């Protein structure tokens, strides 16, 4: 139950913050802020560094799965069906950049059986494909479900803070299910079969509200990025003994792939 609340409040915060986006848009252009004050332990990403990153208008992140499909979190969407209300912004670190590429959605596919507990993934189909951006392949086996991960997004830079104009990035280490579910951490609330934790026991580096739906990724054996997780939930942000909890993409890879092909790729 407590877990439910966290996910729902995250979605509510994301919606509130989506409204704040318009305020941010009217502020004058400024240099990209950077440095140790970028909390959640991150720094500003550089333009072109993560070409597959997507910002969604409801206040979530996502990753380009294909030129027409964005992989995000189930808790970022309302259900499966025709949906032309979402705008995806692609190709920029700065959400106010004049070179941003935007696309409207035309369909949303939410993980079947999603009820707020696990299965936190969804695909958003864009009304027309984007060209020129590398997509982010999903991990098809558990081979990459360990090590050090990169996370990125435009979510809050501090717990309770505002959404960001410039994409931020951070790296977080894998946390085993046993550790993450220990009484010191989530005390059994993590669904070990299909969720994966990452962060530091000491806290300080984490994803946060508004990063939901964005990818957690790492390098594969060929040094290419591969998506291991989807930002899902956490107790606050960057708190001690409260790692981020991510959808374990490898567990759903076959289901995601078949849903993707049924959506036309």
Identify the active-site residue in 66, 105, 212, 232: 212
User: Binding mask 181-210 vs ligand ARG (x if CB under 6 A, - otherwise)?
Assistant: -------------------------xxxxx
190: DSSP letter: S
Q: Which residue has the tokens 């490898």?
A: 250
Is 34 designated active site? no
Asked if 59 contacts 164 with a C-beta cutoff of 8 angstroms, the reply is: no
Own/partner pairs for 183-186, CB < 8 Å, 24+ apart?
A: 184/241, 185/241, 185/242, 185/243, 186/235, 186/242, 186/245
The torsion angles phi and psi of 234, rounded to 5 degrees, stand at: -175, 165
Tell me which stretch binds ligand ARG (CB under 6 A): 7-15, 28-36, 163-171, 185-193.
7-15
Q: Which of 167, 237, 249, 263 binds ligand ARG (CB under 6 A)?
A: 237
Restricting to residues 155-174, name those near ligand ARG by CB under 6 A: 155
Catalytic annotation present for 206: no
How many residues contact ligand ARG, by CB under 6 A?
A: 17
Kindly provide the b/e burial profile for residues 233-264, where b requires at least 16 CB atoms within 10 angstroms of the residue's own CB. Answer: bbbebbeebbbbbbbbbbbbbeebeebbeebe
Separation between Cα atoms, residue 89 and residue 104, nearest integer Å: 9
For ligand ARG, the closer CB: 210 or 215: 210
**What is residue 6's three-state secondary structure?**
helix
Looking at 75, 105, 145, 206, which residue is catalytic? 75
| Minimum CB distance to ligand ARG smaller for 180 or for 237 | 237
Residues 6+ positions from 224 with CB-CB distance below 8 Å: 137
Closer residue to ligand ARG in complex, CB, 231/263: 231
Judged by beta carbon, residue 59 or residue 68, the one nearer ligand ARG is: 59
- Residue closer to ligand ARG by CB (options 4, 30) is 4
Residue 120 catalytic? yes
Please tell me which residue in 120, 145, 206, 211 is annotated as part of the active site. Answer: 120
- Ranked by CB distance to ligand ARG, the top (closest) residue is 234
Q: Which residues make up the interface to ligand ARG (CB under 6 A)?
A: 7, 10-11, 14, 155, 206-212, 231, 233-234, 237, 244
Query: Annotated active-site positions, please?
Result: 75, 120, 212
């Amino acid at each position: 139950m407590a877990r439910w609340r966290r996910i729902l409040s995250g979605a509510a915060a994301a919606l509130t913050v989506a409204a704040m986006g318009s305020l941010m848009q009217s502020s004058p252009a400024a240099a990209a802020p950077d440095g140790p004050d970028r909390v959640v332990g991150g720094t500003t990403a550089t333009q072109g560094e993560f070409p597959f990153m997507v910002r969604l208008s409801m206040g979530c992140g996502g990753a380009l799965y294909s030129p027409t499909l964005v992989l995000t979190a189930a808790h970022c969407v309302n259900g499966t069906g025709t949906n032309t209300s979402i705008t995806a912004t692609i190709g920029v670190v700065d959400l106010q950049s004049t070179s941003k590429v935007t696309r409207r959605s035309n369909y949303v596919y939410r993980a079947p059986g999603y009820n707020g507990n696990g299965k936190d993934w969804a695909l958003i189909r864009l009304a027309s494909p984007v060209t020129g951006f590398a997509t982010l392949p999903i991990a098809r086996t558990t081979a990459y479900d360990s090590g050090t991960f990169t996370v990125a997004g435009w979510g809050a830079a501090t717990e309770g803070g505002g959404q960001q104009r410039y994409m931020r990035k951070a790296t977080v280490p894998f946390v085993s299910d046993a550790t993450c579910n220990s009484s010191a951490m989530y005390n059994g609330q993590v669904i070990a079969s299909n969720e994966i934790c990452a962060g530091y026991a000491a806290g300080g580096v984490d994803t946060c509200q508004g990063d939901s739906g964005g990818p957690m990724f790492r390098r594969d054996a060929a040094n290419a990025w591969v998506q291991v997780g989807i930002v899902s939930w956490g107790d606050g942000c960057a708190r001690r003994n409260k790692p981020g909890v991510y959808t374990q993409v490898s567990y759903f890879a076959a289901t995601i792939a078949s849903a993707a092909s049924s959506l036309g790729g």
